[in-house]
A and B are shown apart, each in its own frame.
Chain A
């Protein structure tokens, strides 16, 4: 046996060893984020926690399948799903027409509005005229990017890789405005020491075309998993698991109407 074939054999046996460990037939790989508290965040020891994480685990349990959480930065979320890095996205992803061209969605698992945040006392009129040259920060590849680029084309729109970076630049004064989910903004920013001196500006954003009809779980096109997960969402809504998780993080029922 030449050195080359020996090496190849070693590598092959090593990979099959790994494959045997992770690729159990009933493992459900859930794509999650980790910088979007309280929906998903990283604890000091590196483990993931948050509403999305708990929902993902509850759905796996409901479907009687082993759960594997796969972490992925936001702007690669859908590409990584299509590339089969995981089977479903449980990461506060809004159901929109544009995304439906790429993936299938389950029924919504929550619905919360989005709203702008600025320094207290900021007076900016939320119109195309009023936002001329105003620096607006949003997470890249979100419904929010769609909304601000459509409504405020004359603004100076800045795109970020994580929501935490958006808040950091808002605090540093590099941004005049930022737009995101109100619940995430309250718990992840306004109620933290970092968010002192900042407040909501304007009303909840109303834009079905960009913002979609709620937050769902995305799966690859044509995957029957969508219906299974939709049924599982209904089931945990009915058996109280959802409420239990909801109350752990929020004072109100975020499922919406």
Chain B
């Protein structure tokens, strides 16, 4: 206790005399930032999870050029990749709310009236569109040899997809997917524009409450950086684990075959 008080006193002193930022306010509201981080992480990873599940069948349909379906899915991914996430969220949140028919429908009360659901739906559709396209690319570039080997083993098309093509595609899509995860996290700041108290929302709340310019943003920024750092670390591990066979191998010089003289 004694320690904490002297730390706070030091913080107050530092904030008042030499720092352009008010660290006491940040310290006092750290709990709120952690709550905000929870909202951010919840939205980001739920959207990624559901979006990922949607993307797998869509990507297969696209890769195999299923007539009709292929064009419809292309239209969907084109629309969602071709427009800003902010516009999609606004359309869902403010746009749909304009219509009496939507406001009286069964979807309004539990789902569309709630900013959390609106944002989750927008994020999910957005990330599903991107994931569909690069997963399709990964499926299309499956080495012919792998497919021929699977056929030679007598696998049915479904088993081949399950045991050979998809696992192989997931591995190839891993580096691209790490970008998608980080972009989705960055995009999640849009939640704060429709009243949600995500990380940026808490930062803006702090700035608004105490008429500050930087404190809220700087704190939110540090939280985002920490989260991105952890995500990158996770992907680094996953890439080493699942793409290890593609990495340049270090060879012990003593094991090198002697150069033919």
Contacts and interface: CB of A to CB of B under 8 A. Distances in A.
B21 to A, nearest CB: 13
B207 A141 contact: yes
A19 interface: no
Identify which of B98, B108, B115, B210 gathers the most chain A CB atoms within 10 Å of its CB: B210
Nearest to A81: B213
B195 interface: yes
B183 interface: no
B75 interface: no
A174 B115 contact: yes
Contacts of A79: 207, 212-214
A248 interface: no
A98 B97 contact: no
Interface residues of B, number: 20
Nearest to A146: B209
Q: Chain A interface: which size bin? A: 20 to 34
Interface in B187-223: 193, 195, 201, 204-205, 207-214
Interface string A98-134: 1101100000000000000000000000000000000
A204 to B, nearest CB: 23
A75 B113 contact: no
A151 interface: no
A82 B204 contact: no
A9 to B, nearest CB: 34
Contacts of A101: 211
A102 B195 contact: no
Contacts of A172: 94, 97-98, 103, 113
Contact of A78 (B94, B193, B201, B211): B211
B208 A140 contact: yes
A75 B209 CA distance: 10
Interface in B82-111: 94, 97-98, 103, 108
A22 B94 CA distance: 38
Interface string A135-168: 0010011100110010000000011110001001
B211 A140 contact: no
B204 A140 contact: yes
A194 to B, nearest CB: 10
Interface in B114-151: 115
Contact of B94 (A82, A140, A168): A168
A160 B205 CA distance: 10
Nearest to A74: B208
A1 interface: no
14 contacts: A79-B207, A79-B214, A82-B213, A101-B211, A141-B208, A141-B209, A142-B208, A145-B208, A146-B209, A158-B195, A159-B195, A165-B94, A171-B97, A172-B94
Interface of A: 75, 78-79, 82-83, 98-99, 101-102, 137, 140-142, 145-146, 149, 158-161, 165, 168-169, 171-174
Of all A-B residue pairs in the complex, the 10 with the closest CB atoms, nearest first, are A141-B208, A79-B213, A172-B97, A158-B195, A140-B208, A78-B211, A102-B211, A75-B208, A174-B113, A99-B211
Given A79-B213, A168-B94, 12 more contacts: A78-B213, A99-B211, A141-B208, A142-B208, A145-B208, A145-B209, A159-B195, A171-B97, A172-B103, A172-B113, A174-B97, A174-B115
